[in-house]
Structure 1
Amino acid sequence: MKQLVQRLWHGALRRIPQSWKDAFPSIPPATPRNLWLALAAAVAIQNIAVFQSSQTEHTTVFALLVWGGAVICMEDQFETLRPQPSAAGLCVGSLLLLWVLARSALILHWDGLLFALAPLGGLALALMGDRPGQLGRFRDPLLCLMALPAFALLMRVLPEAPISLFTAWGSSLWLGALGLDVVVNGRNVMLPGGGVQVLGPCNGLDMMAQILCVAVIFMLAFPIRSIRSRSLLLLAAPLIGLICNTFRIALLALFAGYGYSKGSWLFDFFHKDTGSLIFSGVAVLMFGMIYMRLLERELPPLPSSPPRQEEWP
C-alpha cells in the first residue's frame, strides 16, 4: 500500500509542468538544522502573537523588534549551525518549551510573566540546539531577548510624575515656538481653545524604555568598542524618546486647541492608535542615525586605489 501511494505521488509530480515547479521554492530537507530553525521561527511567531492579542501596539512592535534583534545576533551562525543537544538538554528544553506554550494560553492584559516567556523560550531553544558546554554561542541572542523583561522592569521603576511634568513643559516649548498662547499648569497644557492633560500612559515612559532597550540591542548586534560612545548612547536613548513624545503631546494639544479633542478621529489616531507609532519610529530612526555615525568612526578607512597612469601614444 505504501509503495502504491509513493508511485501515485511521484507520478502526479511528474505530470506538473516544469515551469510551475520553478515558480515555487523547493521545500528544504528535514535536516536537524532546518527543523531547529523552523521551531525557533514558530516560537517567535507564537510569542509575538501573544503580545499582539494582549498588549498595546507599542509593546507588540517592541517585541517584534527584540526578536528581530535576536535574529541579527544569531544570523552569522545559521550556516554553521548543527544542532547536537545532549539527552538531558533536549529533555529539559522540550519540557521548558511546552511549559512556555501552556503558560502563554493563560496570559491576561498585564501579566508580568509574559515578558519573561521570550527569554525562557530562547533558553529552551538553546538547550535543544547544543550541549550545555557550548551554550555560549547563544549568549547575544539570549541577552537580546532579556530586553523584554528589562522593558517591563523599567516601566515599573522609572518615576512617573517628574516625567509627566517635564513632558508637559517640553511640549509647551514647541507650541510657544509656533507663536501660540500656551499655558502650562502642572500636567495640563492649555491653549485658548482647549488643551490636554499629561497622564502616566501618555508621558512617554514606554517610549523612553523602548529606545533604551533598542540601544542595548544595537550594542549587541553591532558592537561599539569605545566606552565613551556607549555611555553617550545609553544617555541619549531615553532623552530621544522623551523629546519625541513631547512633539506628540504638543501635536495633541494643538488638535484640542482647534476643536479636535478626545473622541475625534484625528486626536485618537495620534493618541492611542497607529499614529502614535509614528513618533516611536522617528525616535528609533534618530537613535539609529546617531549610532551608525558613531559606529562609522570606528571603522577603518577604505583602501585608496592607486592613481591610474595615463598612457601616452
Structure 2
Amino acid sequence: MKASHLTLSSQLKYPQFWLLAIGAAYIAIHLTLIWKADNSSLLGMSFLFWAAISSLVWDKRHSLNLESDIFSSFFGLSLITLLLIKTISLTSFGGFLYISPGIFAFGLALMASGFKGLKQYTGELLVLFFITVPKVLPSSLTDISPLTAKFAGFALWYTGFPVAQNGIKINLPTGSVEVYSGCSGIELIFQMLGLALLFLLMFPQNGKKKILVPIIAVSLGFIVNGARVALMAILVAQRQMAAFNYWHEGDGSLLFSLIAVLLFGLFCWFLLGRTELRNKDATESSK
C-alpha cells in the first residue's frame, strides 16, 4: 500500500498526469451531455472520434514536445475554464455540443505544448473541426439542399416514380417534400470526412489513395442521405406519416448514418487488404 501511495504521489507531480485527467474528464462530460440531449447520431460519432483521437495521441506520447509558455498555458486554461462555465450554465444544448470539442482540444493542446507545438496535433484538431464546421459556417456556405433534392429526384425518376423536382421541392402525384438544410446531409458528409482523416492518420496511404479516401467518404455520405430523402418522399406520397417520422427524426435516421459508416468501413478494409497484398508480393519478388 505504501509503494502504491508513493507511485501515485510521484505521478501527481507531472503535468502529463493532469493533462490526461483534464482530457478524460471533459470527454466524459461531453458524452454525458450528448446522451442527455438524446442525440444518438452525434453520440455514436463523438464516441468513435474521441476514442480514435485518444488512441492516436497515446501512441505518440513519447515523441510529443510537452513544453508550453506562460501565455499559451494561461490562454488554453482560460478557454477550458470558460467552456466549463458555459457547460454548467447551459439552458439548451443547440450547437454547443458540436462546437465545444474543438475549442477544448485547442485549449488543451495550448496547455500541453503552446502555440509552437500545435502542429503536433494538426490531424486530431482537424478531425474535431469536421464536427464543428456545419454549426460554425453560415448556412449559405454549407447548404447543399438543392443538390440533395436533385439527386433524390433523379433516383426516384430512375427507379420508375413519376417525380417532378423543383429547387428543394420533390413532387410526387400524391405528395411532396421539401429538403431543408437540416436534411441536406451536410452534417453526415463532414462526419464522414472526419472518419476519412482518422483512417489516413491511423493507416497512412500514399499517392492517389490520400485523395481517393476522402472522395469516397464524401460520396457515400451524400448518396446514402440522398437515398434517405428519396425514401421519405415515397412515404409522404403513400401517406405513411408514422413511418416518415421514424425515418426523418426517429431511430430510422440513425440507420442511414450507420450504413454510410459501414460502407466506408468495407472500403477501408478492401483498401488495406489490397495494400497488404501488394506489399507481400513486393517482398516475395525481392527475395
* Common topology (TM > 0.5): yes
Residue 258 (structure 1) aligned to one of 231, 238, 255: 238
1:44–1:290: structure 2 CA closer, same or farther, 3 Å change rule?
same
Write out per-residue CA displacement over residues 150-206 of structure 1, whole angstroms, 9 at most, x where no aligned residue. Answer: 34346746453xx32332232234334443333334333233332322222212222
Indicate the SS of the match to 1:195: strand
1:174–1:86: structure 2 CA closer, same or farther, 3 Å change rule?
closer
What does residue 184 of structure 2 align with? 203
Residue 193 (structure 1) aligned to one of 174, 177, 201: 174
**Pairs within 5 Å for 1:36-185:** 36-52=19-35, 57-77=40-60, 88=70, 93-107=76-90, 108-111=92-95, 115-126=98-109, 129=112, 137-153=120-136, 156=139, 158-160=141-143, 163-185=144-166
Instruction: Give the distance between the partners of 1:199 and 1:174, measured in 2 at CA.
Output: 18
Q: Is this contact kept in 2: 1:168–1:198, CA < 8 A?
A: yes
1:39 shift after superposition: 2.9
Q: Is this contact kept in 2: 1:104–1:114, CA < 8 A?
A: no
1:185–1:122: structure 2 CA closer, same or farther, 3 Å change rule?
closer
Q: CA RMSD in A?
A: 3.7
**Larger CA deviation: 88-97 vs 175-184:** 88-97
Verify: 1:282 aligned to 2:259, yes or no: yes
Instruction: Give the distance between the partners of 2:109 and 2:227, measured in 1 at CA.
Output: 42
Write out per-residue CA displacement over residues 62-94 of structure 1, whole angstroms, 9 at most, x where no aligned residue. Answer: 43343233123223146x599976684766654
1:295–1:166: structure 2 CA closer, same or farther, 3 Å change rule?
same
Residue 294 (structure 1) aligned to one of 271, 279, 286: 271
Please, which runs of 5 or more residues in structure 1 have no aligned partner?
Answer: 1-5, 7-28, 305-313
1:215–1:301: structure 2 CA closer, same or farther, 3 Å change rule?
same
Q: Is this contact kept in 1: 2:75–2:107, CA < 8 A?
A: yes
Verify: 1:231 aligned to 2:211, yes or no: yes
Write out per-residue CA displacement over residues 98-146 of structure 1, whole angstroms, 9 at most, x where no aligned residue. Answer: 22211333555545x7645323322443455568876665444334333
Instruction: Give the distance between the partners of 2:156 and 2:252, measured in 1 at CA.
Output: 20
Question: Aligned pairs, how many?
Answer: 271
Residue 248 (structure 2) aligned to one of 254, 271, 275: 271
Q: Is this contact kept in 2: 1:175–1:182, CA < 8 A?
A: yes
Q: What letter is aligned with 1:301?
A: K
Q: Could you say which structure has the higher helix fraction?
A: 2
What does residue 222 of structure 1 align with? 203
Write out per-residue CA displacement over residues 226-261 of structure 1, whole angstroms, 9 at most, x where no aligned residue. Answer: 2x1122223333222111111101111221122213
Verify: 1:213 aligned to 2:194, yes or no: yes
What does residue 15 of structure 1 align with? none
* TM-score, structure 1 as length reference: 0.69
1:174–1:44: structure 2 CA closer, same or farther, 3 Å change rule?
same
Indicate the SS of the match to 2:280: coil
Please, which runs of 5 or more residues in structure 2 have no aligned partner?
Answer: 2-6
What does residue 243 of structure 1 align with? 223
1:222 shift after superposition: 2.5
Instruction: Give the distance between the partners of 2:280 and 2:31, measured in 1 at CA.
Output: 40
1:155–1:75: structure 2 CA closer, same or farther, 3 Å change rule?
farther
1:183–1:75: structure 2 CA closer, same or farther, 3 Å change rule?
same
Q: What letter is aligned with 1:171?
A: A
**Larger CA deviation: 277-286 vs 204-213:** 204-213
1:36 shift after superposition: 4.3
Q: What letter is aligned with 1:245?
A: N
Indicate the SS of the match to 2:171: strand
Indicate the SS of the match to 2:165: strand
1:158–1:277: structure 2 CA closer, same or farther, 3 Å change rule?
farther
